[in-house]
Amino acid sequence: MSTQVINSWADAEDDVPAPEVTTNPDGTKTVVSYRQNQKGQKIRVTQKIKEIKVQEKVHPLVAKRRTWAKYGKEKNTPPGPDTRTTQLGEIVELKLGTQWKEMEKQEEEEKAQQSAQVISNQRIKCRLCGGDHFTSKCPFKGTLGDAGKDESSLSTADIVIDPSSPGAPSKFVPRHMRRDAEGNLPARDSSARDDSTTLRISQLNTLVDEHMVRNELLAAYGPLERVALVRNRDTGISRGFAYVSFATEQLAERALNDLNGKGYHSLILHIEWSKKKKQ
Amino acid sequence: MRPIKLMGHERSLTQVKYNREGDLIFSVSKDSSASIWYSSNGERLGTLEGHKGTIWSIDVDSESILCSTGSADLSIRLWKVATGECVFQYEMSTPVRRVAFSPDNSKLLAVTDQVMGHQGTITVFNISYEGDYTNQSAEPELVIKTREGATKVVVAGWSHGGEYIIAGHEDGYVSKYDGHTGEFIQTVQAHGKYNEEKVLSITDIQFAPEDKSYFITSSKDKCSTLIDVETLEILKVYIADAPMNTAAITPKKNFVILGGGQEARNVTTTAESQGKFEARFYHKIFVDEIGRVKGHFGPLNSIAVHPNGSGYASGGEDGFIRVHSFDKSYFDFEYDAERTERAIASGAT
């Protein structure tokens, strides 16, 4: 059995010499101590210490109270603050001023800006050019985009759009995203629809249905392309407004001028263009 | 500034107090033990053990020989500050909400609660400093009962020289009684006039540190008022945005410090930033709010200012005491008006 077994790690004696203290002629002390750093190398630390006695005048009563023995829960505890009950808090600021609220707000904003910058610097990476901005905001979008894409970075959108292509996984494609008979993709955004002939009719009585709008209210301005009465999804009761597309813009304008503000089934109609006209 | 956190209490603080020299801090909490701390380094001198219920209030005499605690266990105890021994115990019929030594240490005032069919009172005892302090008379020298038509007293204190007893009522009124005979002199509505709040109870009364000739009240109605002792005239009103539990007047600088925050029972439903758990500094004369100190994460229940104005201690519902010492910028702050006035005054002399 080896005799060099160390029973306790803490008992292991290290070969660090004891610190040397020398008193200098100018009243200072030089302490040379040795210790081992993390790599196991021996380090010599030389400290020069100057002791200064600070005299503070206190009330004799106060000085006397400092010598009192502790009692209660603190009985038999060593002198000095106990870290279990006494700790230094974090630094708090007290900025006095009549505008302290604004000052504080400004500071907070600056901090938020800084942290936002840090985040943007760290995390965001453009998939196209590798810059620190969102991919959608890449200045090289469209020019660099296709070149940057290779097989591995094929976005899921591409796969969805082309479900019939061989090799693509058979994934569910929502109906509104499937190709039509001609092989065209449906327009994604609603702005593609031409709303120039559409009116929004509100303040309709709830008993009015599509049929009444088409054949009673707007019969004189027909034929109508589309009548969409908005109903409550759960109850099916009309919510009192409808979108109506006319054949031409002139018909729509005539209907607007004639019927806006007129009564219909005991309510006064309010008609406007469904989309604000561009001037 | 860097506060010292004192974490010796297990439940929310009910009162903190400095002694006359400001070297000791006395604190009581709902965990039924009182603590005494050295204010310079936050070292705890000791705890006062013996009460069996929430301690609502503590006060120390001007010589720091005796201190008294009023508790919900229906007793008032007198303690020797030097050793932490309990030297006397007064048995009361209801919980004690506030205790206060008179300025000459000869009397002790206690506010007893109006519960269990008992009438609320302000009871005054004579304190004897003879021998080992255990020879006290348990018979009160004076009992001031709740007046006809007035609500119960919740806080009380002595004016200069023990001449008057100033009492704060649950309905926002402040009354003045003769300190020797207990005779009712005057009352004034201090709270409930400046805004429309339902709860008006006065929560704290602290006197001016210089001469006790005026005092500050704090109330659940989100206001604090400065009132003259002699005339009970309301001198200033400080409006806050949350119920205030405590208010203190700073020596040296013309400031007042208010503390409070959202009601303790609503705290769990609020974020720290919305709870308004900050110590607010107001200018005593210009009434403007001039700054806030963050730190607690519950409402502040008690604030005490160091008698020489160098700092303050605040005790919160969160169970911590934070002892602050002011920076230089605090002492440098002045309104332009103050500065010019000082310049004119120094030019004239």
Q: Please write the tens of the pLDDT for every residue from B114-130.
A: 887 888 899 999 998 88
User: Is the ipTM beyond the 0.90 threshold?
Assistant: no
CATH of B4-346, one of 2.40.30.10, 3.40.50.300, 2.130.10.10, 2.40.50.70: 2.130.10.10
User: In terms of Cα–Cα distance, which of A248, A244, A247 is closest to A272?
Assistant: A244
d(CA A52, nearest CA chain B) in Å: 20
Structure tokens belonging to residue A40: 């196991």
Question: Are the beta carbons of B329 and A86 separated by less than 8 Å?
Answer: no
Q: Is residue A30 part of a domain?
A: yes
Give the C-alpha separation, B240 to B46, whole Å: 36
What is residue A71's DSSP assignment? Answer: B
What is the per-residue pLDDT across B225-275, written as a single tens digit (0 to 9) for each?
999 999 999 999 999 888 899 999 999 888 999 998 877 666 566 665 566
Look up the domain containing A44 and give its range: 20-50
| pLDDT score, position A140 | 77
Q: Which one has a higher pLDDT value, A2 or B101?
A: B101
pLDDT at A278: 53
| A59 contacts in chain B (CB < 8 Å) | 21, 23
**Separation between Cα atoms, residue B142 and residue B106, nearest integer Å:** 13
Quote the pTM value.
Answer: 0.65
Q: Does B44 touch chain A (CB under 8 A)?
A: yes
Window 175-234 of B: residues touching A by CB (8 A cutoff) are: none
| pLDDT digit string, tens, across residues B70-114 | 999 999 999 999 998 899 999 999 999 999 999 999 999 999 988
Query: Would you say B111 and B98 are in contact if contact means Cβ atoms under 8 Å apart?
Result: yes
Partner residue opposite B333 with nearest CB, options A72, A73, A96: A96
Judged by CB atoms within 8 Å, which residues 233-262 of A form the interface with B?
A: none
**Residue B314 pLDDT class (50, 70, 90 cuts):** very high
Chains A, B: CB contacts within 8 A come to: 122
Q: How far apart are CA B13 and CA B314, in angstroms?
A: 9
Of A18-32, A121-135, A167-181, A236-250, where does the model show the most confidence? A236-250
Residue with tokens 């901090």: A111
- In 3D space, the residue among A183, A188, A182 whose CA is nearest the CA of residue A163 turns out to be A183
Instruction: Name the domain count of chain A.
Output: 2
Of how many residues is chain B composed?
349
The C-alpha of B288 sits at a distance from chain A's nearest C-alpha, in angstroms, of 7
d(CA A252, CA A273): 9
* Closest C-alpha to A48, from A33, A70, A34, A67: A33
For residue A44, being part of any structural domain is answered with yes
What CA–CA distance (Å, rounded) separates A223 from A11?
101
Identify the DSSP state of B251.
S
* Cα gap B224→B237, rounded to integer Å: 6
- On chain B, the residues whose CB falls within 8 A of the CB of A80 are 41, 43
Minimal CA separation from B52 to chain A, in Å: 15
Enumerate the residues of chain A whose CB falls inside 8 A of the CB of residue B2.
88-92
A42 domain residue, yes or no: yes
| pLDDT band, very low/low/confident/very high, at A275 (cuts 50, 70, 90) | confident
Lowest mean pLDDT, pick from A31-35, A235-239, B43-47? A31-35
Read off the pLDDT band of B28 (50, 70, 90): very high
> Which of A72, A86, A88 comes nearest B46 by C-beta?
A72
Burial class for A232, CB neighbours closer than 10 Å (0-12, 13-18, 19+): exposed
- B4 vs A86, A95, A96: nearest CB: A86
What pLDDT was estimated at residue A113?
84
What pLDDT does residue A90 have?
87
In the chain, the amino acid numbered B324 is: H
Q: Do strands B214-219 and B223-228 pair parallel, antiparallel, or not at all (unpaired)?
A: antiparallel
Within a domain: residue A265?
yes
Q: Is-contact B16 B27, C-beta < 8 A?
A: yes
What percent of chain A clears pLDDT 70, i.e. is strictly above it? Answer: 77
- Residue B275 is predicted with a pLDDT of 60
User: Taking 90 as the threshold, does the pLDDT of residue A6 lie above it?
Assistant: no
Q: Which two tokens stand for residue A153?
A: 């970075």
A84 within some domain: no
Does A222 map to a domain? yes
Domain boundaries, chain B: 4-346
Judged by CB atoms closer than 8 Å, whether chains meet at A96 and B43 is answered as no
> Whole-angstrom Cα distance, residue B292 to residue B311?
14
For residues B61 and B100, give the distance between their C-alpha atoms in angstroms, rounded to a whole number: 8
Q: Which of B44, B281, B333 sits opposite A74 (nearest CB)?
A: B44
Lowest mean pLDDT among A160-164, A232-236, A259-263, B153-157: A160-164
Q: What percent of chain B has pLDDT over 90?
A: 52
> For A87, which residue in chain B has the nearest alpha carbon?
B5
How far away is chain B from the Cα of A29, in angstroms, using its nearest Cα?
28
Q: What pLDDT score does A148 carry?
A: 44
Round the average pLDDT of chain A to a whole number and report it: 77
- For residue B343, give every residue at least 6 positions away whose Cβ sits within 8 Å of its Cβ, in sequence order, or none: none
